[in-house]
Structure 1
Amino acid sequence: MDQPPLELFPTPINSMAPPGQQPRPRQWRYPNVDAWVRSWLAPMCLTELVRDSSRTWCPKWWSHPIALERLTVVWHQYELAVQRKDLKSDFLHELDYELDTLWGIPGPFMFCQLPTPDSEGGHQQYAPPALETAPPSAIGAQRTQGEEPGWQ
Protein backbone atom coordinates (compact mmCIF):
# COMPACT_ATOMS: atom_id res chain seq x y z
CA MET A 1 0.00 0.00 0.00
CA ASP A 2 1.48 3.34 -1.09
CA GLN A 3 1.70 6.05 1.55
CA PRO A 4 1.67 9.73 0.65
CA PRO A 5 5.06 11.41 1.00
CA LEU A 6 5.85 13.16 4.29
CA GLU A 7 5.16 16.86 4.21
CA LEU A 8 7.61 19.13 6.00
CA PHE A 9 4.95 21.70 6.86
CA PRO A 10 1.57 20.00 6.62
CA THR A 11 -1.58 21.96 7.20
CA PRO A 12 -4.49 20.40 9.06
CA ILE A 13 -6.87 20.77 6.11
CA ASN A 14 -7.60 17.38 4.57
CA SER A 15 -6.54 13.81 4.71
CA MET A 16 -6.79 11.34 1.87
CA ALA A 17 -10.29 10.06 1.19
CA PRO A 18 -11.62 7.28 -1.01
CA PRO A 19 -12.85 8.42 -4.43
CA GLY A 20 -16.29 10.04 -4.25
CA GLN A 21 -16.06 10.84 -0.53
CA GLN A 22 -15.25 14.11 1.18
CA PRO A 23 -11.81 14.26 2.79
CA ARG A 24 -11.88 14.19 6.59
CA PRO A 25 -10.29 17.05 8.50
CA ARG A 26 -6.83 16.10 9.70
CA GLN A 27 -6.82 15.43 13.42
CA TRP A 28 -3.97 16.97 15.38
CA ARG A 29 -3.04 15.75 18.84
CA TYR A 30 -1.46 19.07 19.84
CA PRO A 31 -2.64 22.52 18.73
CA ASN A 32 0.88 23.96 18.36
CA VAL A 33 4.56 23.21 18.83
CA ASP A 34 4.63 24.66 22.37
CA ALA A 35 1.86 22.30 23.50
CA TRP A 36 3.76 19.39 21.94
CA VAL A 37 7.04 20.36 23.64
CA ARG A 38 5.35 20.73 27.04
CA SER A 39 3.07 17.69 26.86
CA TRP A 40 5.12 15.15 24.89
CA LEU A 41 8.74 16.15 24.37
CA ALA A 42 9.50 17.37 27.91
CA PRO A 43 8.18 14.30 29.75
CA MET A 44 9.57 11.84 27.18
CA CYS A 45 12.96 13.34 26.35
CA LEU A 46 13.97 16.24 28.57
CA THR A 47 13.77 14.75 32.06
CA GLU A 48 17.25 13.20 31.77
CA LEU A 49 18.83 16.58 31.01
CA VAL A 50 18.65 17.50 34.68
CA ARG A 51 21.28 14.83 35.41
CA ASP A 52 23.36 15.14 32.23
CA SER A 53 25.68 18.16 32.30
CA SER A 54 26.97 17.53 28.77
CA ARG A 55 23.61 18.56 27.32
CA THR A 56 21.52 21.62 27.94
CA TRP A 57 18.08 22.98 27.21
CA CYS A 58 16.87 26.56 27.16
CA PRO A 59 13.85 27.46 29.28
CA LYS A 60 12.96 29.97 26.52
CA TRP A 61 13.60 27.54 23.67
CA TRP A 62 11.10 29.33 21.40
CA SER A 63 13.26 32.49 21.38
CA HIS A 64 15.99 30.67 19.43
CA PRO A 65 14.72 30.85 15.82
CA ILE A 66 16.60 27.71 14.74
CA ALA A 67 15.20 25.75 17.70
CA LEU A 68 11.66 26.88 16.94
CA GLU A 69 12.07 25.90 13.30
CA ARG A 70 13.62 22.49 14.04
CA LEU A 71 11.11 21.58 16.76
CA THR A 72 8.20 22.63 14.55
CA VAL A 73 9.42 20.26 11.84
CA VAL A 74 9.80 17.42 14.37
CA TRP A 75 6.34 18.14 15.82
CA HIS A 76 4.80 17.94 12.33
CA GLN A 77 6.59 14.65 11.72
CA TYR A 78 5.30 13.38 15.06
CA GLU A 79 1.72 14.27 14.08
CA LEU A 80 2.07 12.48 10.73
CA ALA A 81 3.64 9.42 12.38
CA VAL A 82 0.78 9.25 14.91
CA GLN A 83 -1.80 9.46 12.11
CA ARG A 84 -0.04 6.62 10.31
CA LYS A 85 0.39 4.71 13.59
CA ASP A 86 4.10 4.45 12.82
CA LEU A 87 6.28 6.21 15.40
CA LYS A 88 9.21 4.00 14.36
CA SER A 89 9.31 5.71 10.98
CA ASP A 90 11.45 8.70 10.08
CA PHE A 91 10.10 10.54 13.12
CA LEU A 92 12.44 8.90 15.65
CA HIS A 93 15.49 9.36 13.45
CA GLU A 94 14.61 13.01 12.94
CA LEU A 95 13.91 13.50 16.65
CA ASP A 96 17.29 12.05 17.67
CA TYR A 97 19.15 14.13 15.10
CA GLU A 98 17.41 17.40 15.97
CA LEU A 99 17.74 16.97 19.74
CA ASP A 100 21.45 16.21 19.41
CA THR A 101 21.80 19.33 17.28
CA LEU A 102 19.82 21.54 19.67
CA TRP A 103 21.21 20.51 23.02
CA GLY A 104 24.68 19.48 21.96
CA ILE A 105 27.83 21.54 21.98
CA PRO A 106 28.00 23.58 19.87
CA GLY A 107 24.29 24.22 19.58
CA PRO A 108 21.86 27.07 20.06
CA PHE A 109 21.34 26.22 23.75
CA MET A 110 24.99 25.80 24.72
CA PHE A 111 25.11 28.99 26.81
CA CYS A 112 21.65 28.53 28.33
CA GLN A 113 21.00 26.78 31.62
CA LEU A 114 18.09 24.94 33.17
CA PRO A 115 16.99 26.16 36.58
CA THR A 116 18.53 24.28 39.52
CA PRO A 117 18.00 24.56 43.28
CA ASP A 118 21.00 26.93 43.35
CA SER A 119 20.28 29.08 40.28
CA GLU A 120 17.42 30.42 38.23
CA GLY A 121 18.97 29.16 35.02
CA GLY A 122 18.70 31.38 32.06
CA HIS A 123 18.45 32.10 28.42
CA GLN A 124 21.44 33.39 26.48
CA GLN A 125 21.31 34.35 22.87
CA TYR A 126 23.94 36.07 20.83
CA ALA A 127 23.46 38.11 17.70
CA PRO A 128 24.80 36.63 14.48
CA PRO A 129 28.12 38.06 13.30
CA ALA A 130 28.10 41.16 11.13
CA LEU A 131 28.03 40.31 7.44
CA GLU A 132 29.21 42.36 4.52
CA THR A 133 27.36 42.33 1.22
CA ALA A 134 29.15 40.14 -1.29
CA PRO A 135 30.34 41.97 -4.42
CA PRO A 136 28.64 40.90 -7.67
CA SER A 137 31.95 39.55 -8.98
CA ALA A 138 31.98 37.02 -6.13
CA ILE A 139 28.43 35.71 -6.51
CA GLY A 140 27.64 36.03 -10.20
CA ALA A 141 24.78 37.70 -11.99
CA GLN A 142 21.52 38.68 -10.30
CA ARG A 143 18.55 36.45 -11.09
CA THR A 144 15.19 37.88 -12.04
CA GLN A 145 11.78 36.67 -10.92
CA GLY A 146 10.75 33.61 -12.93
CA GLU A 147 14.20 32.99 -14.39
CA GLU A 148 15.37 29.40 -14.38
CA PRO A 149 18.21 28.67 -11.97
CA GLY A 150 21.52 27.79 -13.53
CA TRP A 151 25.19 28.60 -13.70
CA GLN A 152 26.71 31.03 -16.14
Structure 2
Amino acid sequence: MTDDETDFDSVDDEEQEVRSELVFSSLEDFVTRYIAQVVRRRLSRSVAMWCPAWWAHEEAVARLSVLWRAFEHLKEDEALGLSFWWTQHADPHLSALMDPDHGPFALCDARDGHAEHPLGPLPLTPSPPGMWDDPVFIVDFSPKDGVSTSLPGSPGARS
Protein backbone atom coordinates (compact mmCIF):
# COMPACT_ATOMS: atom_id res chain seq x y z
CA MET A 1 0.00 0.00 0.00
CA THR A 2 1.36 3.45 -0.88
CA ASP A 3 1.34 6.51 1.40
CA ASP A 4 -1.52 7.93 -0.67
CA GLU A 5 -3.74 4.89 -0.15
CA THR A 6 -5.96 4.44 2.88
CA ASP A 7 -6.26 1.11 4.65
CA PHE A 8 -10.05 1.04 4.84
CA ASP A 9 -10.00 -2.19 6.87
CA SER A 10 -8.06 -0.46 9.66
CA VAL A 11 -10.41 2.54 9.51
CA ASP A 12 -13.39 0.19 9.86
CA ASP A 13 -11.67 -1.59 12.78
CA GLU A 14 -10.98 1.74 14.51
CA GLU A 15 -14.58 2.89 13.98
CA GLN A 16 -15.86 -0.43 15.32
CA GLU A 17 -13.60 -0.07 18.39
CA VAL A 18 -14.97 3.43 19.07
CA ARG A 19 -18.56 2.20 18.59
CA SER A 20 -17.94 -0.67 21.02
CA GLU A 21 -16.95 1.91 23.66
CA LEU A 22 -20.21 3.79 23.20
CA VAL A 23 -23.04 3.28 25.65
CA PHE A 24 -25.57 3.70 22.83
CA SER A 25 -24.91 2.29 19.35
CA SER A 26 -26.94 4.88 17.42
CA LEU A 27 -29.03 8.01 17.79
CA GLU A 28 -32.20 5.92 17.70
CA ASP A 29 -30.80 3.69 20.45
CA PHE A 30 -29.96 6.77 22.57
CA VAL A 31 -33.43 8.30 22.15
CA THR A 32 -35.27 4.99 22.63
CA ARG A 33 -33.32 3.58 25.56
CA TYR A 34 -32.31 6.78 27.35
CA ILE A 35 -34.16 9.99 26.47
CA ALA A 36 -37.63 8.41 26.20
CA GLN A 37 -37.10 6.39 29.39
CA VAL A 38 -35.41 8.99 31.61
CA VAL A 39 -37.03 12.25 30.53
CA ARG A 40 -40.54 12.31 31.98
CA ARG A 41 -42.76 15.29 31.21
CA ARG A 42 -46.43 16.11 31.36
CA LEU A 43 -47.17 16.54 27.67
CA SER A 44 -49.79 19.08 26.68
CA ARG A 45 -50.16 22.03 24.35
CA SER A 46 -49.45 24.38 27.27
CA VAL A 47 -46.51 22.63 28.95
CA ALA A 48 -44.33 20.50 26.67
CA MET A 49 -44.64 18.79 23.32
CA TRP A 50 -43.08 15.62 21.93
CA CYS A 51 -43.53 13.90 18.60
CA PRO A 52 -43.37 10.10 18.54
CA ALA A 53 -41.90 10.50 15.04
CA TRP A 54 -39.10 12.75 16.37
CA TRP A 55 -36.86 11.46 13.57
CA ALA A 56 -39.08 13.26 11.02
CA HIS A 57 -38.00 16.67 12.38
CA GLU A 58 -34.62 17.91 11.16
CA GLU A 59 -34.10 20.14 14.20
CA ALA A 60 -34.89 17.27 16.56
CA VAL A 61 -32.42 14.99 14.80
CA ALA A 62 -29.74 17.72 14.91
CA ARG A 63 -30.29 18.53 18.60
CA LEU A 64 -30.65 14.93 19.74
CA SER A 65 -27.53 13.98 17.77
CA VAL A 66 -25.41 16.54 19.59
CA LEU A 67 -26.96 15.44 22.89
CA TRP A 68 -25.96 11.85 22.15
CA ARG A 69 -22.41 12.80 21.13
CA ALA A 70 -21.98 15.04 24.18
CA PHE A 71 -23.33 12.29 26.43
CA GLU A 72 -20.88 9.73 25.04
CA HIS A 73 -17.99 12.16 25.53
CA LEU A 74 -18.93 13.56 28.94
CA LYS A 75 -19.75 10.18 30.51
CA GLU A 76 -15.98 9.66 30.72
CA ASP A 77 -15.76 12.34 33.45
CA GLU A 78 -17.03 10.35 36.44
CA ALA A 79 -17.09 13.36 38.76
CA LEU A 80 -19.00 16.04 36.86
CA GLY A 81 -19.51 14.83 33.30
CA LEU A 82 -23.17 13.88 33.42
CA SER A 83 -24.09 16.79 35.67
CA PHE A 84 -22.53 19.11 33.10
CA TRP A 85 -24.32 17.19 30.34
CA TRP A 86 -27.71 17.70 32.00
CA THR A 87 -27.31 21.39 32.86
CA GLN A 88 -25.36 22.61 29.83
CA HIS A 89 -26.65 20.29 27.10
CA ALA A 90 -29.81 18.32 27.87
CA ASP A 91 -31.79 20.98 29.71
CA PRO A 92 -31.43 23.73 27.06
CA HIS A 93 -31.85 21.37 24.09
CA LEU A 94 -34.87 19.59 25.56
CA SER A 95 -36.45 22.93 26.50
CA ALA A 96 -36.05 24.14 22.92
CA LEU A 97 -37.30 20.86 21.44
CA MET A 98 -40.30 20.50 23.72
CA ASP A 99 -41.38 24.15 23.74
CA PRO A 100 -45.12 23.97 22.91
CA ASP A 101 -45.15 27.33 21.13
CA HIS A 102 -41.79 27.55 19.39
CA GLY A 103 -40.30 24.05 19.25
CA PRO A 104 -40.23 21.79 16.20
CA PHE A 105 -42.96 19.59 17.69
CA ALA A 106 -45.39 22.51 18.16
CA LEU A 107 -47.84 21.16 15.57
CA CYS A 108 -47.55 17.51 16.64
CA ASP A 109 -49.26 15.68 19.44
CA ALA A 110 -47.85 13.01 21.74
CA ARG A 111 -51.00 10.90 21.35
CA ASP A 112 -52.02 11.70 17.78
CA GLY A 113 -48.48 11.69 16.43
CA HIS A 114 -46.69 13.60 13.74
CA ALA A 115 -48.43 16.61 12.18
CA GLU A 116 -49.52 16.04 8.61
CA HIS A 117 -48.10 19.45 7.71
CA PRO A 118 -45.05 20.07 9.93
CA LEU A 119 -43.39 23.44 10.22
CA GLY A 120 -41.44 24.44 7.14
CA PRO A 121 -37.91 25.81 6.96
CA LEU A 122 -37.17 29.41 7.85
CA PRO A 123 -37.74 31.77 4.92
CA LEU A 124 -34.58 33.17 3.35
CA THR A 125 -33.69 35.94 0.96
CA PRO A 126 -30.34 35.48 -0.82
CA SER A 127 -27.63 37.87 0.35
CA PRO A 128 -26.35 40.50 -2.09
CA PRO A 129 -23.44 39.42 -4.29
CA GLY A 130 -20.07 40.16 -2.67
CA MET A 131 -21.51 40.82 0.79
CA TRP A 132 -19.50 38.05 2.44
CA ASP A 133 -16.25 39.19 0.76
CA ASP A 134 -15.85 42.02 3.28
CA PRO A 135 -12.93 41.19 5.64
CA VAL A 136 -15.19 41.62 8.68
CA PHE A 137 -17.03 38.42 7.62
CA ILE A 138 -13.94 36.31 6.88
CA VAL A 139 -12.85 33.89 9.58
CA ASP A 140 -9.31 32.60 9.19
CA PHE A 141 -8.26 29.84 11.56
CA SER A 142 -4.87 29.22 9.97
CA PRO A 143 -1.90 29.59 12.36
CA LYS A 144 -0.22 33.00 12.29
CA ASP A 145 3.49 32.98 13.16
CA GLY A 146 3.07 29.57 14.79
CA VAL A 147 0.20 30.74 17.02
CA SER A 148 -3.15 29.05 16.53
CA THR A 149 -6.15 31.33 16.12
CA SER A 150 -8.64 28.51 16.63
CA LEU A 151 -11.66 29.06 18.78
CA PRO A 152 -11.49 27.39 22.21
CA GLY A 153 -12.72 23.83 21.96
CA SER A 154 -12.32 23.64 18.18
CA PRO A 155 -9.97 21.18 16.49
CA GLY A 156 -6.43 22.50 16.76
CA ALA A 157 -7.18 24.82 19.67
CA ARG A 158 -4.50 25.14 22.31
CA SER A 159 -5.30 24.83 25.99
TM-score range, shorter chain: 0.5 to 0.7
Aligned counterparts of 1:51 and 1:133: Cα–Cα separation in 2: 37
> What is the aligned partner in structure 2 of residue 149 from structure 1?
139
d(CA) in 1 for partners of 2:113 and 2:132?
A: 47
RMSD (Å) for aligned C-alpha atoms = 2.9
Per-residue deviation, 1:141: 2.9
Name the structure 2 match of 1:102: 97
Greater helix share, structure number: 2
Match of 1:66 in 2: 59
Q: How many residues align?
A: 119
Please tell me whether residue 127 in structure 1 is matched to residue 117 in structure 2.
Answer: no
Q: In structure 1, give the amino acid aligned to 2:108.
A: C
Distance change >3 Å, CA 51–CA 129, structure 1 → 2: closer
CA distance in 1, matches of 2:102, 2:44: 19
Task: Give the superposition deviation at 1:61.
Answer: 0.9
What 5-or-longer segments of structure 2 have no aligned partner? 1-12, 141-159
TM norm structure 1: 0.65
Identical columns (%): 24
Which of 71, 91, 109 is the matching residue for 1:78? Answer: 71
| Deviation per residue, 1:8-36 (Å, 9 max, x gap) | xxxx948xxxxxxxxxx430111111111
Alignment TM-score, normalising by the size of structure 2: 0.62
Structure 1 stretches of at least 4 aligned residues deviating more than 6 Å after TM superposition: none
Gaps of 5+ in 1: 1-11, 15-24
Cα 1:30–1:88 shift into 2, 3 Å? closer
